Amino acid sequence: MLKVMLVDDEPFILQGLEVLIDWEAEGFSLVKLAENGQEALDFLRENPVDLIFADIKMPVMDGLTLLKTVRGEAISDAIFVFLSGYNEFLYAQTALRYGCMDYILKPVQKETMLELLAKVRKQKASSTSDRIMRQELQENRIERLLVSVLQGKDEQKDLKEIAAWLQVTGPVRYVHIGIDIVRAEDELADEELRERRQNVLESCRKFLGEYGKRCFRDMIGYERDYEVALIYDGSLAVAAGQLEQVFFQQLHREIQKKLDLPVYLLVGKQVEDLSRLGHSYSTACMLRSFIGFREEKGIYFYEEEIQAERSVTVLCKKNLDQLVEAVKNNQRVEINRSLDALYDELELSGMETHVVNMNINYLLFQLINLAVDLDETVNQEEIMQRISESVFENQADRGSRRAVRRFVCEYAEYLNQLRKHAAGGVLREVEREIRENYAENLTLKSLSQKYYINSSYLGQMFRKQYGQSFRDYLSAYRISKAEYLLLHTDKKIAAIAEEVGYRDLDYFINRFIALKGVTPARFRRSREE
């Protein structure tokens, strides 16, 4: 509703305008009836108004003075329309020069008012559209500048522009808000995951209120991560009247309530100002690799996860290097022997958390290097995160001898498959599986187990080869088979849906519409016409 104020010293004029038309039906709400310009001005100083109808001649303050004062002091950008008699034409002309939109001759006619209100709606819609477009352009610019900051290519003037737009002062953190898609990869198509990321973004912005512009998407740029980025400073917690950790806990709860998939926050290291944001960003990226080896939770703080007590840590380098070599060669007996030797040494040192973490982190990065040596295009952090998450499904196992044993054995097999299928040969088998068994419950996980290849790597190869996820490719193939059955058989749509692999008819119809733009029934009729 656009807010309207009527200003006239004649009570019968005010009452007549009030009942002349159905204001709400026209999209307007009467918020104030004022008897003179001063009363209207006092109201405007405290309340927003979109449209003002004002008489030109009034006691205390006339309409023209009201307009000059409002525009001169930038009190309101409300649209002004003056009510005037025939002998006040020159006043109306002057009013137009001061930014009055129009004037109406008394007595006011209903048709004239309706025409003017339509004109106001159109102008407001246009100005709103322009404002939104300008804001989107500025947001895109700030996002590009932030990417430069994260890459260390910032300039002082860019930092000032970012700080002013985001209203950031003092120490900042880069916060990564991610969706756990490992378990959902075989359940949701890319489009559905993008929708959920949009839900995360909207929930985050709603929670932050006026600071919502600090949220962005696609900042880190991992192709399958569907992440949202938040540029945080202490003013956010202060504005909410909370401690920092409580603020993040509440943010996590608010986002999680709106989503049917697990969400996690990676809170990067606090740095002194925006010029160091790239360092905080790097620590958030680092957390992405570490969380698979940590206790599973919703929020990870860099300072808590990366221990500073380097001087007292024990690095079991000899046993670690032997374990890495055994993993590299996929020697299962030697893997078990080296791992047991490693954990025996850790137990002698007391199995302190920071000691275990440091040794596992060393192992982690050495194993990443093995994968890169085989295929330099491997996304290091993403592969490591996906494998670690898939192995440490049981929270109680994280960091234990048993969990790490499972991890290194699977990683050894992953490296073995990486050697075999660097050229993508396994994809031909997966494509054959789709052609022959598309109606079955095919998943990336089941196929990766069948062909002894890590599901994360298989998904990465599939996307690189076909330009889309395995799930989207399978869906498109099923819909193409459904097309043929719709055109060449008289089978019912429900039967066709089940025949091509969809047990849920509504879901089948939605996927068909998403890919073909029409319902299955209309698709069939259009080809019959």
If 0-12 CB within 10 Å is exposed, 13-18 middle and 19+ buried, where does residue 144 land?
Answer: exposed
pLDDT tens digits for range 393-421: 554 455 678 888 888 888 888 777 767 65
Provide the token pair at 298.
């919703």
Please state the rounded mean pLDDT for residues 316-320. 88
380: confidence class by pLDDT, cuts 50, 70, 90: low
User: Which of the residue ranges 60-69, 377-386, 473-482 would you say has the lowest mean pLDDT?
Assistant: 377-386
Provide the mean pLDDT of the chain: 81
Could you tell me the fold of the domain covering 425-528?
Answer: Arc Repressor Mutant, subunit A (1.10.10)
**Is the pLDDT assigned to residue 146 strictly greater than 90?**
no
pLDDT tens digits for range 453-468: 667 667 777 887 888 8
Long-range contacts of 451-456 (CB under 8 A, 24+ apart): 451/417, 451/426, 452/413, 452/416, 452/417, 453/414, 453/417, 453/421, 453/426, 454/386, 454/387, 454/410, 454/413, 454/414, 454/417, 455/185, 455/386, 455/390, 456/382, 456/383, 456/386, 456/387, 456/390
> 251 near 243, Cβ under 8 Å?
no
- CATH code of domain 2-108: 3.40.50.2300
Q: What is the pLDDT of residue 69?
A: 92
Q: What is the pLDDT of residue 222?
A: 45
**How far is it, in rounded angstroms, from Cα 239 to Cα 211?**
10
Nearest alpha carbon to residue 299 among 259, 248, 227, 226: 248
**How far is it, in rounded angstroms, from Cα 409 to Cα 325?**
12
User: Which of the residue ranges 130-134, 221-225, 259-263 would you say has the lowest mean pLDDT?
Assistant: 221-225
**Is the pLDDT assigned to residue 187 strictly greater than 60?**
no
**Dihedral sign from CA coordinates of 222, 225, 226, 229:** negative
- CATH code of domain 142-305: 3.30.70
DSSP string, 158-199: HHHHHHHHHT--SSEEEEEEEE--TTTTTT--HHHHHHHHHH
Please state the rounded mean pLDDT for residues 149-168. 81
Three-state DSSP at 301 gives strand
Tokens 């043929």, residue? 484
| 107 cis-preceded (ω within 30 degrees of 0) | yes
Every domain of the chain and the residues it spans: 2-108, 142-305, 310-420, 425-528
Sheet of strand 299-301, all strands in order from the earlier edge strand to the far edge: 215-217, 228-233, 172-179, 263-267, 299-301
pLDDT tens digits for range 301-313: 888 876 533 444 5
**How far is it, in rounded angstroms, from Cα 34 to Cα 8?**
6
Three-state DSSP at 266 gives strand
**How far is it, in rounded angstroms, from Cα 72 to Cα 449?**
73
